[in-house]
Amino acid sequence: MMYASAIQNRKKVVQRSIKIIMLQTYKKFNPLHTQQLIARFPASLFFLEIDPCGSNPCSNQATCITLSDDPKEYECQCQIGFEGRLCEINSLI
């Protein structure tokens, strides 16, 4: 049961981290190259926007800041008393 719960939680994180954008345009198709339009069909373009901060990678109430479009490029701004890449280290101990 714990395994199924972990999979569901991971799916929720992934869904929050990725946004799919679809642009739809119409292309003309005329096999005879005449002035008459024979058919129109949709041509779609898909783009993925991946938010590296969407999964909340930072710990201890740190603020995640996206540095670029690369899904691995982010930085955690730690609260006072915490340090490390993910602000996981308590520096007051």
User: Does the model's pTM come out above 0.75?
Assistant: no
Judging by DSSP bridges, how do beta strands 82-83 and 89-90 pair with one another? antiparallel
Q: What is the H or E stretch that residue 9 is in?
A: helix 2-17
Q: Which of 56 and 48 is assigned the larger pLDDT? A: 56
Residue 21 confidence (pLDDT): 59
What domains does the chain contain, in order, with CATH numbers?
1-50 (no CATH), 53-93 (2.10.25.10)
Residues of the chain with pLDDT > 70, as a percent, come to 45
Integer Cα distance of 25 and 8 in angstroms: 35
Q: Which of 10 and 31 is assigned the larger pLDDT? A: 31
Residue 62 confidence (pLDDT): 97
